[in-house]
Amino acid sequence: MKVGTAWVDITPGEPIPIMGQLGPRLGEYTHDPITVNAVVFDDAGVKAALVSCDLAMLPDHLTRRAQEGCSRKIGMKAGNVIIACTHTHLAPYTVESAIGKPEAAYIDRLIEAIVESVVRAHDDAEEVDLFAAKGWLDQMGFNRRGRHADGRVDMYHGSWNSDFAGIEGPRDGEVAVVCAKRGDGSVKVVISSFSTHPNAVERERYYSADVAGAVRSTLRRNLGDDLGVIYLTGAAGNTAPSILENNKQNIQPWRGEEGLKRSGLYLGGEILKIVAGATEPMADAKLRLLKAVVPIPIRQWPRDLDLSKFPAGAFRDYYEYSKRIWPELLKNENPRNVHLNVLRLGEAAICTNPAELFVEFGLAIKEDSPARVTLICELADGYVGYVPTPQAIKNGGYCTMPATTSMLAAEAGDIMVANTQELLRQAFKEEGAHS
């Protein structure tokens, strides 16, 4: 198989609004670059591209615009360009909300950068061997939804609170990696997936790729400045760097500037270990891309949701804004088309979805996957908001309450899992399961 890679800086040169919190912020300076990172696969003329952008999200209409631009430039089918976001909270707006909106000039530059990265990766293609393996992290990616003694659940409700009654769900410590090596053994591209909100820092007023950038720095320091790094955020709707359990003092070693450095070393170090230990190339690294567009309804606004019980401020304003526009969403955007992909790379599979998917669903996809190594990639090919479990919706709290960032029906996650598993079966149907 031939593989090419390229990346383009998309850091603004001026202060513009950045998204990811419930309050307005401007990016006042650059902490570290935010970039678009592309890899193109060519299996005897069958081509696909995978792009990882240091953005919180990229909505459907901008995704299609970028895909079509790539298609015009290199002749690849627009749908064969998969565009994902790492979900940094320190990059410019790409969707309009009650808090901010995108800058048109920046969006134009962003689309150009995505197209440029894919074109350059396409032109960079060379013969490689593909490898796939996985490892494990005991830290990072903790479940971030804590229970109250009365059964309610809130994000970041931890054991420093007197009524903390445990966490709601699991975590996924698996680190999955696909890498491409040249004939001389040098590593050309590393693609990794790990299930955590990659946000060591959140409320700062600078531009940063956050954990994804720290991981890229670790990998390039060890494997070369020309290394392509495609950072994929796994099913991380309810996982994050914060430790809720057994933490009475609320000490958070994975947060802040020190947490960012530690994350880059810890996750990046595990990826390096996996790459170093991957000594057997895939014997038949065939390429297949299977796609599905699944309509999923928007849920009704709950009649018993009383927003007046929340303190006045940004949180309540956010939900009141969502309530006002809900009838319009039900009228004009119901159901939502959810784009799912399974990109088979030999014995590995990359399963993408456009949600902030709860970790339970990522685990379910991997549980029945016929691939030897399965990478989950959320926030790809559009954006449909959080997809919680039905039980989490009953338990309440941020991520599950109806909003422009959490709107799909309670069964959405199960529908996405079932359709992804069917795509996986089709991708591997002639070979059966791998151990």
Query: Tens digit of pLDDT for each residue in 281-334?
Result: 999 899 999 999 999 999 999 988 888 888 888 888 888 989 999 999 999 999
Based on the number of CB atoms within 10 Å of its own CB, is 302 exposed (0-12), middle (13-18) or buried (19 or more)?
exposed
Phi, psi of 417 (to 5 degrees): -60, -50
pLDDT for 28 beyond 50 = yes
pLDDT at 435 over 80: no
**Do 234 and 194 contact (CB within 8 A), yes or no?**
yes
Six token digits for residue 236: 């991380």
How far from the centroid of its chain's Cα atoms is residue 204's Cα? 21
Query: What's the pTM value of the predicted model, to 2 decimals?
Result: 0.96
pLDDT average, residue stretch 425-432: 81
- Please give the pLDDT value at position 434: 44
For residue 11, what are the CA distances in angstroms to 109, 191, 217?
10, 22, 16
Cα distances from 115 to residues 12, 57, 108, 125, 249, in angstroms, run 17, 17, 11, 16, 47
Q: Do 362 and 172 contact (CB within 8 A), yes or no?
A: yes
Distance CA 363, CA 358 (A): 9
**pLDDT for the residue numbered 291:** 98
Mean pLDDT computed over 72-89: 97
CA distances from residue 259 to 156, 271, 359, 376 in whole angstroms, order as listed: 17, 18, 22, 24
pLDDT at residue 242 is higher than 50: yes
Residue 338, CA atoms < 13 Å, CB-side half-sphere: 32
Are the C-beta atoms of residues 23 and 316 closer than 8 Å to each other?
A: no
Using pLDDT thresholds of 50, 70 and 90, give the confidence band for residue 22.
Answer: confident
